[in-house]
């Protein structure tokens, strides 16, 4: 798989990667594809799966708190989710 494709994959949100994986599986199951195309699809499917699995595992909850300064401007300050959830 090319670096371009991998780079694009890294930024793909979970839901989009999952949807593409479903479409890849659907096309492979449909059959009738040339060998090269089947292999390429299969590899894309593996990469998408890896990506999804990594997204499921890695995530750390991010908690921000909205604060309003004296001038009324809003800012979001990061809270430690561990502290907040403990």
Q: Is 20 in the site for another protein (CB under 8 A)?
A: no
Q: Does 9 bind another protein (CB under 8 A)?
A: no
Q: How far is the CB of 14 from another protein (least distance, A)?
A: 6
Cβ-based burial of 48 (10 A; exposed 0-12, middle 13-18, buried ≥19): buried
Q: Which of 4, 12, 59, 69 binds another protein (CB under 8 A)?
A: 59
Torsion of CA 23, 48, 58, 66, to 10 degrees: -50
Give the residue from 35, 46, 39 showing the smallest Cα distance to 9. Answer: 46
Specify whether the CB–CB gap between 52 and 18 falls below 8 A: yes
**Is 60 one of the binding residues for another protein (CB under 8 A)?**
yes
Residues within the interface to another protein (CB under 8 A): 1, 13-15, 18, 21-22, 24-25, 28-29, 31, 33, 35-36, 38-39, 41-43, 45-46, 49-50, 52-66, 68, 74, 76, 79, 81, 84-86
């Amino acid at each position: 798989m090319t670096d371009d494709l991998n780079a694009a994959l890294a930024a793909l949100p979970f839901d989009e990667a999952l949807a593409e994986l479903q479409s890849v599986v659907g096309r492979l199951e449909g059959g009738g594809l040339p060998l090269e195309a089947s292999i390429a699809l299969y590899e894309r499917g593996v990469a998408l799966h890896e990506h999804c699995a990594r997204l499921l595992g890695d995530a750390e909850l991010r908690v921000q708190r909205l604060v309003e300064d004296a001038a009324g401007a809003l800012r979001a300050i990061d809270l430690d989710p561990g502290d907040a959830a403990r």
